[in-house]
Amino acid sequence: MAEMKIGKIYFGKDDLQYGLELCLANAGRVASIVDCRTAQAVDVLLVSFFWFRDIYYFEKFLRDSGLKNRTKKPIIVAGGMQATMTPEIISQMVDYVFIGDGEGDLKLILDEIEAGIKPTSKHLYTKNSEGVPLPCECVPSGFKIEKKATQLVTRIEIARGCRFKCSFCCLSNLKPYREVETEKVIEQINATRGKLVSVFAPERTCHSGWSEIEASIEKKGLKDFGQDARLENIHKVKSNTVTFGLEGISYALRKSIKKPFTEDFIIERLGAFVESKSKVCMVSAYFIADLPGETDDDWKEIYQLFARIEKENWSRFFTFKPILNPLSPKNFTPLVNSPVHVFRDYKKTWSNLMRKNGSRWGFRIAETMVWSPWLRLIDVIVNKGGGEAYKIISRMPYKYLTGTPLSTDQKFLCISVLNECRKIGIYDKLQVIEGEK
């Protein structure tokens, strides 16, 4: 009997697909990357879904590869964070959706498929399943992957899940917080062959052995290109670049999502970080628009925060990169039923803030883009539309699956798609508010 051929595909810029490679390593299997020309040659296709746009990319792939209306091979198995959060819609495109961490089950799944047996894992979901199973939970292990582009990069997981319970984030509800033992992390760091390393976790500076891990990276002479930390821990980041989430644009909104950082605390932490560096710093901060209860007063407060930063002497020694992401209500979060104001002009609101209403802030600021109405709508369709929402995606014009409509066309297209959502009975589930206020 010929050996079963396994293919794999993932989307986006990040080709360090740690989760998929961990699953394959534990299964003792090798999978080849496929494209639309080679996908039909494999027996099993593993697909990693990380975020909502991957569903649209995969729909394009199905059309291009001729697999959309397949009747035979390959058997398609989906996994990843987005697959766990929205298995109903993904199950309309694949044979099996794995819910949760897959490294403990993939071996048996592939062995059973190879033997001609229907997979028996209790964490698999299909479009004919009566209910979605609970996510599989695996203890993270000392594992690393290496990828060489211009330089060899090593990626090492140090923790899984999250200690915190932020209302907008699903991680703490999907995965219990568990750490890889510090000794195992250091062992992998010492075995690193290149000069670049990324030790990652949802809140990596909260690892109980972070100081020892960081010391081992320095001792090995490696460059850690991870830069994320919680605001209270940015002093633990030794590089001149850091990224953290403030999320709420005001104290009241931050408190409402369980990130009660005061303005004074933000200024103190930022100042301490910048003043501790000998070179100009790059500081990125994430904000969330359209949180429940947001008013004009909240926007006034973020202007006040920027004005306070401007008055600080240390503000001349850093570049500030604020990033605004309108709320994406997710399953497994308390905000899942929050309304979405698709047509609010956050692009204009954000641009006015970045440019101080036609003036200029007294510190360097890097402007960033804001999600368009189209992106917000196709996001909410995936995350809240359920299996029936695939009818929208399966009929979506080809050019809109991976492209973005012209800004002048977006409102008309969004209204057209929302009308289609009404026809198939998912409009109310989306909780979209169509007014601009």
Domain CATH number, residue 98: 3.40.50
d(CA 152, CA 214): 19
Are 206 and 320 in the same domain? Answer: no
Q: How far apart are CA 130 and CA 382, in angstroms?
A: 20
Domain boundary among the residues 125, 147, 171 is at 125
Q: What is the pLDDT of residues 330-363, one digit of tens each?
A: 999 999 999 999 999 999 999 999 999 999 999 9
Q: Is the pLDDT of residue 315 over 90?
A: yes
Check if the beta carbon of residue 434 is closer than 8 Å to that of residue 380: no
Please name the helix (run of DSSP H) or strand (run of DSSP E) that holds residue 65, with its range, or none: helix 53-65
Between CA 353 and CA 366 the distance in angstroms is 12
d(CA 346, CA 351): 8
Evaluate whether residue 1 is within a structural domain.
Answer: no
244 and 365 together in one domain: yes
Q: Are residues 103 and 64 in the same domain?
A: yes
The count of other CB atoms within 10 Å of the CB of residue 130 is 4
pLDDT above 90 (res 83): yes
Contact 101, 136 (CB under 8 A): yes
Give the Cα separation of 138 and 128 in Å (integer).
26
pLDDT at 284 over 70: yes
pLDDT at 173 over 90: no
pLDDT tens digit sequence for 134-158: 999 999 988 888 887 678 889 999 9
Sheet holding 75-79, edge to edge: 32-33, 6-10, 44-48, 75-79, 96-98, 124-125
Element holding 154 (H helix, E strand): strand 152-157
Q: Which of 149-158, 165-174, 306-315 has the highest mean pLDDT?
A: 306-315
Is 130 inside a domain boundary? no
Answer whether residue 231 is part of any domain. Answer: yes
Q: How many separate domains does the chain show?
A: 4
H-type helices in 276-372, by residue range? 296-311, 346-354
The DSSP bridge pattern shows strands 364-365 and 318-326 to be parallel
Residues 214 and 145 in one domain: yes
Pull the structure tokens for residue 239: 């590089």
Question: Does the pLDDT value for residue 17 go beyond 70?
Answer: yes
One domain, residues 162 and 277: no
What is the rounded average pLDDT for all residues in the chain?
Answer: 94
What pLDDT does residue 146 have? Answer: 87
Q: Residue 149: its pLDDT value, please?
A: 65
Please determine, for residue 241, whether its predicted confidence score (pLDDT) is greater than 90: yes
Q: Please identify, among 191, 207, 224, the residue that sits at the C-terminal boundary of a domain.
A: 224
133 belongs to a structural domain: no
The answer to the question of residue 392 being in a domain is yes
Does 134 fall in a domain? no
Q: Of 292 and 436, which is predicted with more confidence? A: 292
Query: Which of 224, 240, 273 delimits the end of a domain?
Result: 224
Selection from 151, 153, 175 nearest residue 162 by Cα? 175
Residue 1 scores a pLDDT above 80 = no
With respect to residue 18, please indicate whether it lies within any of the assigned structural domains. Answer: yes
How many angstroms separate the CA atoms of 277 and 244, rounded?
Answer: 17
Residues 306 and 399 in one domain: no
Domain interval for residue 155:
139-224
Q: What's the 3-state SS for 375-436?
A: HHHHHHHHHHCCHHHHHHHHCCCHHHHHCCCCHHHHHHHHHHHHHHHHHHCCHHHHCEECCC
Residues 158 and 206 in one domain: yes
Q: How confident is the model at residue 151, as a pLDDT? A: 80
Cβ neighbors of 361 (< 8 A, separation 6 or more) are 306, 309, 310
Q: What pLDDT is stored for residue 14 in this prediction?
A: 58
Please tell me whether residues 161 and 57 are part of one structural domain. Answer: no
